[in-house]
Structure 1
Amino acid sequence: MNLLYVFGLILAVRLASVFVVKTYYVPDEYWQSLEVAHKLTFGYGYLTWEWVQGIRSYVYPLLIAGLYKVLALLHLDSVQLLVLLPRILQATLTAYSDYRFYVWTGKRKWALFLILVPWFWFYTGSRTLANTLEASLTTIALSYFPWYGEGTAYLWPAAISCFLRPTAAVIWLPLSIYHLRKSRQSVVELILKRFLLIGLLVAGLGIAIDTYWHGKLIVTPYEFLKYNIFNNIGSFYGSHPWHWYFTVGLPTVLGINTLPFIYGIMETVRKSEKYEISKQLLITILLTLCVLSTVEHKEFRFVSPLLPLCLYVSVDALSRWSYRASSTMLWCTAFVILLGNVLPAWYLSTVHQKGPIDLMPKLRDIAQEYRDEREQRANILFLMPCHSTPFYSHIHENVTMRFLTCEPNLKNQENFQDEADRFYESPNHWLNSHIPIHPRTALPTHVVLFDSLTEKIGDFLANYKLLHSIEHAEHRQLRTGRAIQVYQRLLKGEENAFNRDQLPSEQDIESLISDERFN
């Protein structure tokens, strides 16, 4: 199959995901990339505690900031392009990594099919997540790995991946040992002239970049490990049992592709001498899952770099099976895999948790156009779980915005509660303590919240009128709801009119009087 055609097909699918995926996944997609890049370029934005403490590297945000700077110089920095172009950049990198996967697997048809259809990769492949970048770099590095022969080109993307996400080293440690064992070159020479040299060059450049932008000498991979692993700060944001990656995490990410992966495992174990690469990949997958399982805080996206390894094992087994399978079996298998991926990809990309993305254009219009009775611009308060929406990167207006923070207990305080927890424990008490109600113009001009909170703060919202109600999810949860609501503060003169609108009509009063419950 023509390689240019293959890359074009892959690129078309990844670019399509930019426009199809219109839902919210995790805060890091915005707060650890776009928001940082926006502040670097335009001077305003919000840096979370990770950036204050220095556990994040500026390397990825700087790529996006470069795009933003070009747009600003050309006076093309519209919100639409600020949101769209970083996703196109990531989708293009993802497409290249998918192409390299196809080349790595020997240009097999199953490889092209299986790299294009996974629901999770379609859902996250164009998102500006460090995990997505890590998965792409891992795939590229694997495609250059010297499975049969010599070469160290893979060390560059592998080293960059490890610098950006130190947990990536768990994948590359067993693979590097495999390389050293198989290589005909001197182990000492390989380590000193390749591993160490490339590692030091990548680390040196990364440290220089981070030191400049953090304003102090800093090694972000060390800070990352210190806070997330040694101090276990991640558990503040949730914990899961040790077996979660084996029983829930990886099977969910693979989806229906779990079935061919299990088949690949069985074939590799039964005929290990014929599946040398798959055997080494399975060892790497197992070791990685075991190490990651020791950390309390677990997320689906943390195993996304294992996706290319799992897909290779599946491709290897299915390609050999195809030689003896009937045409009917081949088409049925492909159809089941396709259908099993399309359904969750469609639902999660277009329906589930779409509220925050639909919300931002409405807030953008408010930020651009709203003026109160004193000609003051909008002042927006988010009464939601912290980081429930994108922020300045999706509004691109320097208006006042405030949200409930959720910084972890960095100072080891007793009985610590973050701001969001304190608010949800007693919403009205928090509002009375933190939001001035006199004069009325001191109130936020707009309040954004989930509908599940509306009844609990009814007295506070008496000063507001409902402006927008945006569909979000099918079911209410503890702190989220079915819809996101935007309230606008009543202007002078509107209050009396609004209150008159709320008074019962004469017909309503007569109906109440005639109701037998009042007789």
Structure 2
Amino acid sequence: MNHLFKLDKLLLGILIIFALILRVGIALKFPNIFWADEIFQTLEPAHRLAFGNGIVTWEFRDGIRSWVLPGILAGIMRLTSWLGEGSTGYLIGINIFLSLLSLSNILVAYLWGKKIGGTITAFICAAICTIWFEIIYFSAKAFTEVVATHFLLPGIYLGVQNNLFKLRNRLFLSGCWLGISLALRIHFLPCIAFIVIYICRREWQHKWLPMIAGIIAPLLIFGTVDAFTWSYPFQSFWLNIWVNLVEGRSKLYGVSPWYEYFILLLKTWSWFSIPIVILAFLGSRRIPILAWSALIIILSHSFLAHKEYRFIYPALPMVMILAGIGTAELVLNLSHRWLSTRKIVIAILLCLFLWTSTSVALISRFNIYNPLNFSTFGTNLENTHLYATTDNLLALQSLSTENTVCGLGLWGVNWALSGGYTYFHQDVPIYQVEKAADFEELKAGFNYIIGNRSIPSQYQNYTLQKCWQETCIYKRPGSCSQIIDSDINSVLKKSGN
């Protein structure tokens, strides 16, 4: 027993360390933007809290977002800014912090696998969650739905596992994790309601009360923060629902058919969708609550007109855990026929090799905006989400250490894809320069330009400094003049964006 316990700790420790290195390494190697919200709904307001400047979008003018997550991220930024110059230090700190939170998925996968099939099942489940490309890619993203997932899965696990500690304490803690997840992403309400009903059922005296109390506790904290930061308690909950569902503001950002998420999964997983679904179905017989939760996440978001792939992120690690259970079941069935430990080890390594190869193949073609096709490998890694807006981010990050900047113009680079002050970090105005007439009107306000097209010929005083592919930095000599009501925040306020 001591030997097995040490083996479990060793395997889990190896996976955790490897997963952390992989997540932080990928995030730092491939800075990118999947959707602008990962900057402007979390990191940008956090930068404004920590350092005093940031781009303010309509959500934080109208008060439909909570300050809890940006407040936590602001603290991380302040604590880790010493890790590097300019924006580099706190960007490293944020990536490490979010990656550490994401390790809860691997821990849950290991513990659940251990409960069901022992060490082999635990190792296979956790290893698949460690190397799967979508989980790696999104782990360091500051999306509320991603961070919420890091609490949702532990909440489910605690709710259904007996003999961990006293029933009421366990269910209260489970409720707390579920409550944090719900507070971060109110759209998870159908899934969390199902989870509570599934766990508690008719035992309301012993189960319902502690679990509901646990859910309410973090909700009260979020509601209190809203009372101090906005006009009313819980404002970011009810006003978000009103503005997006009743007034239909979210439809301005795109409307998709009800089956869009299934198309996106096919685009992402290609023909590998078939074995993944089969393996997940095998695993669902052992963990039905995860299968139903994943399905509810996808279906409940399918009824909303505006759809984004990140909205169903919680379903992805759930499916991978189920597929891990299914994979381990096949390996264990084969191992019963083999008396040789060597053959069993070879079978485990072979299945992990196949999963790793699949993950590498699919990330090489990972772009949900490409047409649906069933290729195995991508031919251009720079056409994937790994490189989305990378050039813009690197350009702004390089200027974060430049002490001669007195104003920045964005020429052909949309502010939403720029990285904002999160990457720029300079306490100077940013101007959106869309056409030559804007150039003439705003040129006195900035001495640096980040652009992905050539500077108009009449402005030869700007000299090229450095390029990242087609995104370049230009500089002119001299100082800047303040241009009233033309900086990016003034423009966004006027347009209502």
TM-score (ref. length: structure 2)? 0.77
Equivalent residue for 2:472, pick from 485, 501, 506? 485
1:36-69 deviations in whole A, cap 9, x for unaligned? Answer: 1221122222221111111211111111222234
Write the distance in 2 (CA, Å) between the matches of 1:265 and 1:379. Answer: 50
Aligned residue for 1:303?
312
Contact 2:411 2:452 in 1 (8 A): no
Q: 2:441 aligns to what?
A: 436
Counterpart in 1 of 2:301?
292
Partners in 1 of 2:280 and 2:87 — Cα distance?
47
Give the 3 Å change call, closer, same or farther, for CA 267–104 of structure 1 in structure 2.
closer
Which range is displaced more, 293-302 or 101-110?
Answer: 101-110
Residue 252 of structure 1 and its aligned partner are, at CA, apart by 4.9
- Structural mapping, 1:257-276, within 5 Å: 258-267=273-282, 275-276=285-286
Report the equivalent of 1:369.
404
The superposition leaves residues 368-399 of structure 1 with CA deviations (integer Å, 9 ceiling, x where unpaired) of 234xxxxxx23433542331121222233211
- What letter matches 2:178 in structure 1? A
Per the TM alignment, residue 459 of structure 1 is displaced from its structure 2 partner at its CA by 5.1
- Equivalent of 1:80, from 75, 81, 88? 88
After superposition, the Cα gap between the structure-2 partners of 1:236 and 1:9, relative to the gap in structure 1 and judged at 3 Å, is: same
Q: Cα deviations across residues 42-101 of structure 1 (Å, max 9, x unaligned)?
A: 2222221111111211111111222234457x8988532211111111111112332122
Amino acid of the structure 2 residue aligned with 1:436: E
Task: Give the percent of matched residue pairs that are identical in Structure 1 and Structure 2.
Answer: 18
2:473 partner SS: strand
What does residue 340 of structure 1 align with? 358
| Alignment partner, residue 140 of structure 2 | 126
- Which of 448, 468, 471 is residue 470 of structure 1 equivalent to? 468
By how many angstroms is 1:219 displaced?
A: 2.4
Residues 1:316 and 2:316 aligned together = no
Given that residues 84 and 90 in structure 2 are in contact (C-alpha distance below 8 angstroms), is that contact kept between their aligned partners in structure 1?
no
Separation (CA, whole Å) in 1 of partners of 2:314 and 2:200: 22
Give the SS at the match of 1:458. coil
2: CA distance between counterparts of 1:331 and 1:9?
A: 14
Please list the CA deviations of residues 341-392 of structure 1 after superposition, one character each: whole Å capped at 9, or x if unmatched: 12454745764542123212332244x234xxxxxx2343354233112122
Question: Secondary structure of the residue that 2:464 maps to in structure 1?
Answer: strand
Task: Kindly state the Cα deviation for residue 102 of structure 1 after the two structures are TM-superposed.
Answer: 1.1
Q: How does 1:18-33 map to 2 (within 5 A)?
A: 18-21=24-27, 22-24=30-32, 25-33=34-42
Q: Distance in 1 between matches of 2:386 and 2:187?
A: 31
Deviations 1:159-206 (A, max 9, x none): 11111111122221222211122x6x3x25643x22432233222111
Alignment equivalent of 1:212, drawn from 228, 231, 246: 228
Per-residue displacement from partner, 1:405-430 (whole Å, max 9, x unpaired)?
A: xxxxxxxxxxxxxxxxxx5xxx345x
Cα deviation for residue 217 of structure 1 reads 4.0
Are residues 1:157 and 2:177 paired?
Answer: yes
Contact 2:298 2:315 in 1 (8 A): no
Counterpart of 2:400 in 1: which secondary structure? helix
Distance 1:69 1:449 in 2: 30
Distance in 2 between the 1:259 and 1:331 partners? 22
Match of 1:436, SS state, is helix
The CA deviation at 1:245 is 0.6
Mapped partners of 1:314, 1:224: distance in 2: 35
> Which aligned pairs between 1:416-427 and structure 2 lie closer than 5 A?
427=435
Cα shift at 1:27: 2.0
Separation in 2, partners of 1:202, 1:81: 30
Equivalent residue runs for 1:98-137 within 5 Å: 98-106=106-114, 107=119, 108-137=122-151
Q: Within 2, Cα distance between the matches of 1:29 and 1:7?
A: 30
Aligned residues: 431
Supply the distance in 2 between the matched residues of 1:156 and 1:260 (Cα, whole angstroms): 35
Residues 154 and 174 in structure 2, CA contact (< 8 A), matched pair in contact too: yes
Structure 2 match to 1:170: 190
Query: Is the alpha carbon distance of 1:36 and 1:19 closer, same or farther for their aligned partners in structure 2, counting shifts above 3 Å?
Result: same
- SS of the residue corresponding to residue 128 of structure 1 reads coil
User: Would you say the 8 A contact 1:383–1:447 is kept in 2?
Assistant: no
Q: What do residues 5-64 of structure 1 show as CA deviations (whole Å, max 9, x unaligned)?
A: 513532332233223322312222222222212211222222211111112111111112
1:251 Cα deviation (Å)? 4.1
Contact 2:465 2:472 in 1 (8 A): yes
Larger displacement relative to structure 2 (91-100 or 115-124): 91-100
Amino acid corresponding to residue 449 of structure 2 in structure 1: V
Aligned counterpart, 2:9: 3
Counterpart in the other structure of 2:45? 36
Gaps of 5+ in 1: 371-376, 405-422, 472-482, 493-519
Pair 1:463–1:211, CA change in 2 (3 A): farther
Give 1:34's aligned amino acid.
Answer: L
CA distance in 2, matches of 1:75, 1:266: 45
Contact 2:124–2:348 (8 Å) recurs in 1: no
Match of residue 221, structure 1, among 237, 243, 246: 237
Report what 2:21 is aligned to. 15
Shift of 1:134: 1.4
Q: Distance in 2 between matches of 1:394 and 1:307?
A: 29
| Alignment correspondent of 1:416 | none
Provide the C-alpha distance between the structure 1 equivalents of 2:38 and 2:186, rounded to a whole number of angstroms: 18
Q: Which moved more, 1:208-217 or 1:138-147?
A: 208-217
After TM superposition, the score normalised by the length of structure 1 is 0.74
Give SS of 1:111's match. Answer: helix
Task: Evaluate the alpha carbon distance shift between residue 225 and residue 214 of structure 1 in structure 2; reply closer, same or farther with a 3 A threshold.
Answer: same
Deviation at 1:243, TM superposition (A): 0.6
Query: 1:355 is aligned with what amino acid?
Result: D
Given that residues 254 and 306 in structure 2 are in contact (C-alpha distance below 8 angstroms), is that contact kept between their aligned partners in structure 1?
A: yes
Per-residue CA deviations over 1:295-337 (Å, capped at 9, x if unaligned) read: 1221221111112221222122212111233757655443232
Q: Which runs of 5+ in 2 are unaligned?
A: 1-6, 336-342, 365-380, 480-497
What is the distance in 2 between the residues matched to 1:147 and 1:26?
36
